[in-house]
Amino acid sequence: MKRTLVLALICFVGCRSTYYSMWEKLGREKRDILRSRVEDARDEQKEAGKEFKSALDRMKEMYNFSGGELESAYNKFKGEYEDCADRAEEVRDGIQDVETVAGDLFKEWDSEIKEISNAEMRADSRRKLDESRTRYDSLHATLKRAESSMEPILTRFHDNVLYLKHNLNAQAIGALKGESIKIEGDISKLIADMNASIAEADAFIRTLD
Q: How far is CA 200 from CA 31, 60, 142, 143, 188, in A?
A: 17, 32, 7, 9, 18
Q: What is the DSSP string of 63-120?
A: TT--GGGHHHHHHHHHHHHHHHHHHHHHHHHHHHHHHHHHHHHHHHHHHHHTT---HH
- Choice among 12-16, 17-21, 112-116, 135-139 with the minimum mean pLDDT: 12-16
Query: What is the tens place of the pLDDT at every residue in 170-208?
Result: 777 877 777 888 888 899 999 999 999 999 999 999 988
User: How confident is the prediction for the chain on average, in pLDDT?
Assistant: 87
pLDDT of residue 9: 38
Which pLDDT band, with edges at 50, 70 and 90, does 66 fall under? low
- For 176, the 3-state DSSP assignment is coil
Predicted confidence (pLDDT) at residue 85 exceeds the cutoff of 50? yes
Predicted confidence (pLDDT) at residue 13 exceeds the cutoff of 80? no
- Choice among 6-10, 34-38, 134-138 with the minimum mean pLDDT: 6-10
pLDDT of residue 23: 62
For residues 64-90, average pLDDT: 86
The answer to whether 45 and 193 have CB atoms below 8 angstroms apart is no
Q: How far is CA 205 from CA 110, 125, 137, 140, in A?
A: 20, 19, 13, 13
The answer to whether 186 and 156 have CB atoms below 8 angstroms apart is yes
Predicted confidence (pLDDT) at residue 11 exceeds the cutoff of 70? no
Q: Is 116 exposed, middle or buried (0-12, 13-18, 19+ CB in 10 A)?
A: middle
Which pLDDT band, with edges at 50, 70 and 90, does 20 fall under? confident
For residues 28-36, average pLDDT: 88
Predicted confidence (pLDDT) at residue 6 exceeds the cutoff of 80? no
Query: What is the tens place of the pLDDT at every residue in 138-178?
Result: 999 999 999 999 999 999 999 999 998 898 887 778 777 77
For residues 121-126, average pLDDT: 96
Looking at per-residue pLDDT, the higher value among 207 and 18 belongs to 207
- For 7, the 3-state DSSP assignment is helix
